Structure 1
Amino acid sequence: MRAMTAIAAAQGPRDAADEPVQVEYCGESFGVAPDDRFTIGRDADLSIDDNPFLHRRLLEVSRFEGLWLLSNVGSRLAVTVSDGGGRLQSWLAPGARLPLVFGRTTVVFTAGPTTYELSIHVAEPLFTETSSSPADGVTTVGEVTLIHSQRLMILALAEPMLQREGSGMGEIPTSAQAAARLGWGITRFNRKLDNVCDKLDRIGVRGLRGGLRAHATNRRIRLVEYAIAARIVTRDDLPLLDEGGDP
C-alpha cells in the first residue's frame, strides 16, 4: 500500500463541525458549505492520492434546489454508493448524480490497482436508517445466500481494504494471493469466485460478468467494491481468515 496523506485545498481543511455536510477520509473530516462545489480526486478540494489512474476530479458534492447531490464528474470510473448500513446501493456512472438522502453515505471506487473508500455525512438527512440483525450462519444479500466459504473468499480479496483504519485505500490481491491466504488451491478459489459472481449477477449486481472481454481483475475489483459497500464483509470478520473455512 502506498503512503499517502489526504490534503484539502491550499486553505487547509474546514472545520467540518460547522458545516451541514462532512466528507470523511483517512480519519479527517472536510466540511462542505451550502454554496460550495466540493470536489474529490487526484487534484481537487480533497486530493486523496497521486494515483495516475485517478481522475483529477472524480466526484463533486454540491447543493441544488435544497437537495445535496453527489455527482460523478469523471469520464471513465464508476463509483459504488450505498447507505451507511449497506442495505441500498447504486452504481454511479460517469456523468450521473445521486441525492444524498441518508445521514451517512459510503462511497467506494477503484483506480488502477487501488480501491478507495470514503464517507459523506449529512447533518439533516431526509431518511433515517434502521438497524437489523443478520441470521446466524449465513449472509443474505437480496435473494442470495452466501455460505461461509464464499464469504471467506470475498474476505481474502477485501482484506487489504478492511485492514486500514477508517476510510482509506487498499490494493486488491490476485486470485493466487487470495487463494494462498486461505490455504486453498487456485482451482477451488476460482470456482468459489465464479459461483459468487454468478449469484450476485442474477440479482442485478453489475460488473461481475461481461463475456469474453471481461477481465478477471475487473470482476475481483467490482466484487470487493460491492462487498464493502453492502457490508457483506467488515473489519470485524478479519479473524475468520485465521480460523480456516469449510471444505
Structure 2
Amino acid sequence: MTLKVEFCGEWFDADRTKPFTIGREGDLVVDDNPYLHRQFLTIAYQDDLWWLTNTGSRLSATVSDSEGNMQAWLAPGARLPLVFARTSVLFTAGPTTYEVGIVGETPTFESSSPERTQVGETTIGPVALTESQKLLILSLAEAVLRGRGSSASIPTSAQAAAKLGWTITRFNRKLDNVCDKLSRHGVRGLRGGQQKLAVNRRARLVEHAVASRLVVAGDLDLLEENYRRASLERAEEEARTGS
C-alpha cells in the first residue's frame, strides 16, 4: 500500500520504512509560521496500517474522510489510522488555517453518504442551521472554502461582522448560539473548561464546518448575495445621512 500527501498542489510520497513529518520543518514544510510546531504531524506505517500522529504539544487537527461523514479531533499525543481513500487534515496555527490531503491506494474502509433531510431553513446532516447561522459560518470560512487544499487566514469577528453588515454584538451573540448548538451535537473544542468559550473557537468552528461539509464552496453564493445587500443598505444609509 502506498500513501501520497498533498499540500497546495504539491505531492509527496510517504515511505513505509521511515516516518513522514509535517510542520515548520520536516518532509513537508508547511510554512515558516512561528505558531506552527517544527514537527506537528507524523505519518508512519505500523501493524499493517498507516497512522497519523499529532506530535505537537499545543495544536490540534481536524481529520475527516472525503465525504465529511467521519470526523475526529486529533489532540496532541493522539493518533489515528488512515483507513479512507482520501483523508483531509485541517489545522490552525495563529491566524492561518491549513489543509493537507492524504491519499491511500487501497483504503481499508469506504465511506457512504447518509440521507440528508430538510428540517427548518437549512439542514446539513443532523444539524439544522438558520440562514443567519449559516451566513456567520460562511463569513468565517470563506477564505478556506475558496482556497481548499491550501492555506487561508480566518477573519476576526469584527471583520466578519462588518462584511455581513452586522454589529459586533449581533455577531458575537450568533457565534455563541452556533457554538452552543454544535457543542450539544458533540463537536469538541468550541467551548473551554467550565463553560468558558475557547479563545480559538472561530478556528475550530471553521475546521469542523469545512471538514464535515457543513458549508461548501457552493454556499458562497448566499454569502455574496448578503454582501451585496449589506453594501446597498450602507450606501442608502450614507445617502440619507449625507455622510
Partner of residue 58, structure 1:
40
Residues 1:226 and 2:208 aligned together: yes
Partner of residue 139, structure 1:
123
Tell me the matched-pair count.
226
Kindly indicate whether the alpha-carbon contact (under 8 Å) linking 2:191 and 2:198 is maintained by their aligned counterparts in 1.
no
Structure 2 length-normalised TM: 0.86
1:59-111 CA-to-partner distances (Å, cap 9, x unmatched) read 01111010110011111111111111111111111111100011111101111
1:139-160 CA-to-partner distances (Å, cap 9, x unmatched) read 2343x31122211100000111
What percent of counterpart residues are identical? 57
Kindly indicate whether the alpha-carbon contact (under 8 Å) linking 1:174 and 1:217 is maintained by their aligned counterparts in 2.
no
For the residues of structure 1 that align with 2:72 and 2:209, how far apart are their CA atoms?
A: 13
For the residues of structure 2 that align with 1:75 and 1:154, how far apart are their CA atoms?
A: 28
Secondary structure at 1:223's aligned position in 2?
helix
Kindly indicate whether the alpha-carbon contact (under 8 Å) linking 2:136 and 2:171 is maintained by their aligned counterparts in 1.
yes
Kindly indicate whether the alpha-carbon contact (under 8 Å) linking 1:21 and 1:121 is maintained by their aligned counterparts in 2.
yes
Q: Could you tell me how far 1:178 is from its partner in structure 2?
A: 0.6
Q: Which amino acid aligns with 1:162?
A: L
Q: Which amino acid aligns with 2:163?
A: R
Residues 1:204 and 2:186 aligned together: yes
Residues 1:123 and 2:105 aligned together: yes
Q: Could you tell me how far 1:131 is from its partner in structure 2?
A: 3.5
Partner of residue 114, structure 1:
96
Q: Could you tell me how far 1:179 is from its partner in structure 2?
A: 1.1
Structure 1 length-normalised TM: 0.85
> Which range moves more in the overlay, 184-193 or 79-88?
184-193
Alignment of 1:231-242 (within 5 A): 231-242=213-224
* Residues 204/71 of structure 1: CA separation in 2 closer, same or farther (3 Å cut): same
Kindly indicate whether the alpha-carbon contact (under 8 Å) linking 2:84 and 2:111 is maintained by their aligned counterparts in 1.
yes
For the residues of structure 2 that align with 1:170 and 1:229, how far apart are their CA atoms?
A: 15
Kindly indicate whether the alpha-carbon contact (under 8 Å) linking 2:90 and 2:99 is maintained by their aligned counterparts in 1.
yes
Partner of residue 172, structure 1:
154
Q: Could you tell me how far 1:138 is from its partner in structure 2?
A: 1.4
* Residues 67/205 of structure 1: CA separation in 2 closer, same or farther (3 Å cut): same
Residues 1:85 and 2:67 aligned together: yes
Residues 1:35 and 2:17 aligned together: yes
| Structure whose residues are more often helix by fraction | 2
Greater C-alpha radius of gyration: 2
Kindly indicate whether the alpha-carbon contact (under 8 Å) linking 1:41 and 1:56 is maintained by their aligned counterparts in 2.
yes
Unaligned runs of 5+ in 1: 1-18
The list of structure 1 runs, each at least 4 consecutive aligned residues, that deviate by more than 4 angstroms after superposition, is 211-217
Q: Which amino acid aligns with 2:133?
A: Q
Kindly indicate whether the alpha-carbon contact (under 8 Å) linking 1:162 and 1:235 is maintained by their aligned counterparts in 2.
yes
**Aligned counterpart for 2:141 among listed residues 148, 151, 158:** 158
> Which range moves more in the overlay, 180-189 or 46-55?
180-189
Alignment of 1:61-80 (within 5 A): 61-80=43-62
* Residues 229/196 of structure 1: CA separation in 2 closer, same or farther (3 Å cut): same
Kindly indicate whether the alpha-carbon contact (under 8 Å) linking 2:83 and 2:107 is maintained by their aligned counterparts in 1.
yes
Partner of residue 185, structure 1:
167
